[in-house]
Chain A
């Protein structure tokens, strides 16, 4: 009971409050209380309401039991806590807590993309490690400024014409193999990423794998809306990687911006750009 109360009152400030009787950090405990996944919670509420209404309509002892079951489903959906799951040690929720991660495990948006590029790992590593090169193929970045051999300052285009800025540091790397970076405190967007370079057997060049995790501003809802307007992160990263490949293999990124055309329609002007 005592552990439960401190969960309800403690802030999610991992540095200030020590472990409780069960050895868990309060934030972790609160998070573990919720063991039903988001989609399932919604289904639980809707299903529970339907079941309860049906049970009440039956107007019988059996119906009353059904209505009770429906009510429990609703409670389960609203609180995100299922006693049955608890006793079975199950959880369909996706949250844990870490004191060292910039983006919490299973939180935020995670994207992983791979591309094969007809160049050596050394050439690709060298180009990527100079983060000031990144805006040349990452369209959402406005600029990256190197601050010292580990830290850099990033400026990106946010949704709806806003600008996002943050400092990042390379926290581990191995030359010609991988680089891992993460954003520092007070970032507009929490993010962490890594790029891996692996020589492909034979003459085929290098396999480049990028993992990026970030908490989008406006959370998941913002990310969903961005997706609807064609700025989904998976697609962005994939297109960025393709542009990296084109820049490295062909020396330039193919474009038709600025080419001639006849009179565009309104839709054409939006999709393709005015003449």
Chain B
């Protein structure tokens, strides 16, 4: 068997894997002296991987040429666009993290290595064309993520977050694996295309159970309700740059993976999973909105916000059409930008000694004391709430358009009505920043890379971001078209 074409298809993953392994050696022999250097090298590796993926995405790669290793791995445009988002989010994490960790004296070489391996795992996840590839990627990502959550091992909250994440994550992996084994047992294959053929005549009870278990395990990974419990605790406890990473890249990977399993492997049995997705979508929207109202910690609030957003993303999947998938991808891209922007803004909120402030009440009067930061957060919050003319509206627009096209009117109506509940806490943050008297706690100055990243995010969510929607829409459409849907 000639492996060269396969190696060409996994070139981005190879770059990440080799860089990661090399950095492990650097860390083992050099220690933390090279922490800064290793994060720069890792960021360059992400840039390289990004450049390697981009051509396939722009060309809309699809078909049998994208299969590697005998159908275990698939490097089509659909996986490619997700990889672009993952690498961009991981790169952003590496840009902002060193400043954060240096300030508290915890800058470790391991950090960038763990981010590299986590991103590699996600990259494998989104390219999975086989249940085993799926599990491999997922575990590589999860195990790196557990350690990342507990990075600050002196900090109780960070350790708690890591432990919680690990216990619940392991449980979810178990559920997922059990589902995979059921599906394998009843269909005789782990390959997505093979499963699609096997289930085309209908699902028997065993297959249905397998499907439900797989969906549940993946719902945990995207923190969709009712499998969302871990999210607020982990997001709160993990160091802020890590939280930003968790809220962006793994979400993309798991949502894309869920889409691929649903649409490719079970594409002929839409009825079986559509109701599950609809229920999870509505529950996530409502729980994400209601849960956020009582929060006083901004990271917990953003955790509920991410649950809420996952609900909207799932509406695109519930449509089960190419336009639904393309809407989902557009929403994901916008969501990543909004999430990265919000967390970078949160990172800027520091007191006079440079300590991180996480209370929502600390933001009081930010519009007077730090107007630029307040305006950027205002744009991000209204964008998350989906108020036009900010770009967040466009994300909601495309997923609801897809849902309405297939006559899921009740889902669309309930979902959008529930989004008003979510608007309440977004405007509450705006109220605290703009209407309240200054609390005079935010003193620290931001760093240049943080400002640059925040500026980019703010410009993208501003109405100027609409200029890139034709281009984004085109890419998302090609990516959705590259999915190998069973006839």
A, B bound: no
Q: Enumerate chain B interface residues (CB-CB to A < 8 A).
A: none
